[in-house]
Amino acid sequence: MYDRIRATLRYFEGAVPFRLKPAIITTLVLLALLAVPVPAGLTPKAWGLVAIFLTTIVAIILKVMPIGVMAMMAIVIVSLSQVTSTSSKGAVADALASFSNPLIWLIVVAILISRGLKKTGLGSRIGLLFISLLGRRTVGIGYGLAVCELVLAPFTPSNTARGGGIVHPIMKSIATAFGSDPAAGTERKMGTYLALVNIHANTITSGLFVTATAPNPLVVDYVARVTGGNFQLSWTTWAACMFVPGLACLALMPLAIALLSPPEVKSTPGAVEYARGELARMGPLTGGEKVMIGTFALLLVLWANVPAMLLGPAFTLDPTAVAFVGLFALIITGTIDWDDVLSEKSAWDTLVWFGALVMMAEQLNKVGVIGWFSEALRSGIASSGMGWEAAAALLVLLFVFSHYLFASTTAHVSAMMLAFLTVGVQLVPPEYHAPFLLMMAAGSSIMMTLTHYATGTSPIIFGSGYVTLGSWWRVGFLMCVGELLVFALLGTLWWRLLGFW
């Protein structure tokens, strides 16, 4: 009997598309939550939705299955359990409602557009160009990688595609060319330093533009929601608010990492020759690269609302509509083809898991869970007697450092941000809402520095073997604290100059 059980377990471990032990833990979490008495202030269906949502987050953290599969599981359970509606038809409509959300399609389409960077080679060319200009010292190479991230960030909402798929291969090839290889035990020559710059440039630039990472549009939606539409973070407004503190972080980061994890090789004159050689091998700009540059320029002009500034508000275009214009331009010019669109798995994967998380967050708000949790958090802080300044700082810090518990930035933002923003606008005086909300928005990307699983880019860079776990966490924590201080000091001053408070 025992042998049969063992054989069955071995079969399931090899055949089923999920990790058995984490799946068992997740199931137990769901059962435990459902067994808990319904808290006062919530209906049984609302608590059932909480149980489904928290179980989904646990499953994502434990990596029971790919995040898209876990999202589909949540859609199925919400549909069948009818926790959002009194009928099966209504429950299915609720479960699928978020797939019409323009914010989700903005991310999906922008990921499809960013495919052109890799297909045409423009992303690699940009990285090599900056290395050829700044690469005479290892720190200069770090700045080259950072500037490359900055140039690509407005057009690549998948920070994983940007930092892991475009910049990281450039970083690895440069480190290897200088004999810095984890397999040979020489990673600290320059590879450790460059890998840390790679991830931290990725996280900083993710906060500079709405379209620089997937959760940012969700942050925009939550900010508008808690302020009743009084504070709208358009693409231009977000970029303007994050510009000065974000660029300060990006400018200081390569130097800070050089102090925290100094490279053994300081001078790298060969990097310039290497980059120039690679650029020479690539030849002049191809037609596809020229179309990509023109499309990016068009997107930037339209996202910045230049037509509306020149011709009036009637010419204001929705960011998602602009993204579709860019995608269509690339397709009709042959820069990417329909097969490229169909085969971009990350875009369609994002559509499913992002849509499911947004759906559950919206339904939690609809059934009153967010309001209930917000009131409990507000009451707890208010009863402590702390001032609103300390309360605002506590909310930001709790939100940021709770990211140690998450392996997905989007999951974290979906799970916690709306509640924290709601509490904040209740405790902070109205005239100081803007700096609090902007600090929370900045924190949603700054927290990606903390761990080697904090965002999709992290495991790619960590997996290359250049950075030890201890170094990653130590540097990540210190950089997170430093960036929060830059935004708290320089950012709030800049927002004051902009007239937001």
pLDDT per position as a tens digit, 225-267 = 999 888 889 888 999 999 999 999 999 999 999 999 999 888 8
- In 10 A of CB 309, how many CB atoms? 12
Model confidence at 484: pLDDT above 90: yes
Question: What is the model's pTM?
Answer: 0.72
Name the nearest CA neighbour of 466 among 176, 147, 44: 176
Burial of 379: CB neighbours in 10 Å, binned 0-12, 13-18, 19+: exposed
Distance separating alpha carbons of residues 495 and 244, to the nearest angstrom: 9
Distance separating alpha carbons of residues 439 and 165, to the nearest angstrom: 29
| Domain ranges, ordered by start, for the chain | 1-99, 103-221+229-345
Distance separating alpha carbons of residues 271 and 75, to the nearest angstrom: 50
Q: Which of 45-54, 374-383, 444-453, 477-486 has the highest mean pLDDT?
A: 477-486
Q: How many helices (H) and strands (E) does the chain have?
A: 27, 0
Distance separating alpha carbons of residues 138 and 155, to the nearest angstrom: 27
Distance separating alpha carbons of residues 191 and 181, to the nearest angstrom: 7
Which residues fall within 8 angstroms of residue 162, CB to CB, at 6 or more apart?
Answer: 114, 149, 152, 153, 156, 202, 205, 212, 457
Looking at the DSSP bridge assignments, the partners of residue 56 are none
> What is the predicted pLDDT for the residue at 304?
67
User: Residue 283 carries which DSSP code?
Assistant: -
Name the nearest CA neighbour of 397 among 446, 359, 461, 333: 446
User: Residue 413 carries which DSSP code?
Assistant: I
Cα 24 from chain centroid (whole Å)? 29
Between the CA of residue 353 and those of 194, 323, 425, what are the distances in Å? Answer: 31, 20, 29
Structure tokens at 150: 């900055």
Which residues fall within 8 angstroms of residue 387, CB to CB, at 6 or more apart?
Answer: none
Query: Coil, strand, or helix at residue 452?
Result: coil
Compute the average pLDDT of residues 432-457.
91
Q: What is the pLDDT of residues 175-219, one digit of tens each?
A: 877 778 888 888 888 899 999 999 999 999 999 999 888 889 889
Structure tokens at 97: 């409602």
Which residues fall within 8 angstroms of residue 136, CB to CB, at 6 or more apart?
Answer: 267, 268, 269, 271, 272
Compute the average pLDDT of residues 265-270.
79
Distance separating alpha carbons of residues 279 and 8, to the nearest angstrom: 56
Q: Are 117 and 326 in contact (CB under 8 A)?
A: no
Angle at 417 between CA 438 and CA 350, to 5 degrees: 105
Model confidence at 126: pLDDT above 80: no
Model confidence at 407: pLDDT above 70: no
Structure tokens at 306: 């230049």
